[in-house]
Amino acid sequence: MTPPRKVAIVGANRIPFARSNTAYINDSNKSMLAAALRGLIERYNLQGEQLGEFVAGAVLKHARDWNLAREVVIESQLAPTTPAYDVQQACGTGLEAAILVANKIALGQIDAGIAGGSDTTSDAPIAVNPGLQQAMMRFNGARTTGDRFKAFGKMLRPRHLVPEIPRNSEPQTGLSMGEHCQITAKRWKIDRAEQDALAMRSHQNLARSYEEGFFDDLITPYQGLARDNNLRPNTSLETLAKLNPVFDREAGTLTAGNSSALTDGASCVLLASEAWAQERGLPILAYFRSAETAAVDFRDEREGLLMAPTYAVPRMLEKTGLSFADIDFFEIHEAFAAQVLSTLRAWEDETFCREQLGLSAPLGPVPEERLNVRGSSIATGHPFAATGGRIIGQLAKMLAEKGEGRGLISICAAGGQGVTAILER
């Protein structure tokens, strides 16, 4: 068998992330993803190129988005003969899309592809009531005008006119992601001060990165924004400490300040074989080394909804023969500060590592100076499917600037899932 090819990360692009119902209030998943892709195409002169595929997704999708990736390609400057398809794995969507493209490049099935993701909570789909939906289907299937009105008259009730507003909750438990995370924070004894300190560092690191021009070749300005409008460069521990708990108002520690905000945005990543990139004189920032996914049964009170990466990472390290000592940068998606801190604490806990992970010794610790050093989701915001592309782009550029090293990506996702990867240079 032909050995797998190395998969190069050539570049990435995103639009600035915007808080829900602000700058992108009139934008759709399609318009934002198209803007992120257009910026990537222009930066790397991909006009007219037929790529192996474009893989992208969104978590909150309207029915009109059913072929989102393909529609974006057709309206882009890529060759319209570039195949495209949608994926969805909650918050892991963007990273999973990149893994799918990388795998095909490694196997020689394609030479280059783009992975992306887009999400908007400003344009979240609002469903009609099931009763109204059934009445409308009967109306549509009736043969005569009289039968149609009879169908409405027999089935439709005033309560059926009330729409179903989307809620960020788990169908299996009825609890929101934040409520689940609050339970996990209590289990791992993560206090409020720790969470606020991590949140403040996220804003400080992102602000410093903008000041240094780090994002100049990673972001395309859009709708009047040149940087993420969730960023609070002057936030302080005193300011964060004044915020009230959100998910447990009596004894909770999670607040709007130490949690990621509802956000709109999109991102894309260009992946290729070494030969394809070299033929076009394109840079290689880093390489995909490995990836791993995991899932936990969060209905079991011993497991946390957002703790699946704690299982995926040690599996990935074992397969690659690496340890935390070999990792230069840790990119742990900040859905909540408490979720990041619980993950770190689990990897340092001897009992958890032995009984749950099957390890002979703790996996951690993770040095603070290696964690989310360019800011993460609490500061940037978190447009669900776009977060993976943001992290890949940041990490690949960090490795390129360092000239060598490895970086680990860990993303928790709804449904008790985790998507992780290792990049290296």
What is the amino acid identity at position 313?
A: V
Query: What is the chain's length?
Result: 425
What is the amino acid identity at position 161?
A: L
The most distant pair of C-alpha atoms in the chain lies apart, rounded to whole Å, by: 74
Q: Please provide the DSSP assignment of 262-309 as one string.
A: BEEEEEEEEEEEHHHHHHTT----EEEEEEEEEE--TTSTTS-TT-TH
Query: Catalytic residue among 180, 203, 333, 382, which?
Result: 382
Query: Catalytic residue among 91, 181, 268, 353, which?
Result: 91
Strands 286-295 and 406-413: unpaired
Strands 406-413 and 329-332: parallel
Structure letter (DSSP) for residue 217: T
Whether the upstream peptide bond of residue 365 has omega within 30° of 0, thus cis, is yes
d(CA 257, CA 132): 39
User: Do 325 and 406 contact (CB within 8 A), yes or no?
Assistant: no
Instruction: Please say if 91 is a catalytic residue.
Output: yes
Q: Please provide the DSSP assignment of 238-275 as one string.
A: HHHHTSPBSS-TTT---BSSSBPPBEEEEEEEEEEEHH
Question: Per the structure block, which two tokens stand in for 47?
Answer: 């006009």
What is the amino acid identity at position 257?
A: G
Question: Per the structure block, which two tokens stand in for 64?
Answer: 């009109």
Q: Please provide the DSSP assignment of 378-403 as one string.
A: HHH-B-GGGHHHHHHHHHHHHHHHHS
User: Do 63 and 71 contact (CB within 8 A), yes or no?
Assistant: no
Strands 286-295 and 263-273: unpaired
What is the amino acid identity at position 295?
A: A
Structure letter (DSSP) for residue 361: S
Question: Per the structure block, which two tokens stand in for 302?
Answer: 């011993």
Ramachandran assignment for 266, one of left (phi > 0), alpha (psi -120 to 50 degrees), beta (any other): beta
Residue 293: phi and psi, rounded to 5, are -120, 160
d(CA 316, CA 322): 8
Instruction: Please say if 382 is a catalytic residue.
Output: yes
Query: Catalytic residue among 181, 268, 353, 412, which?
Result: 412
| Residues designated as active site | 91, 382, 412
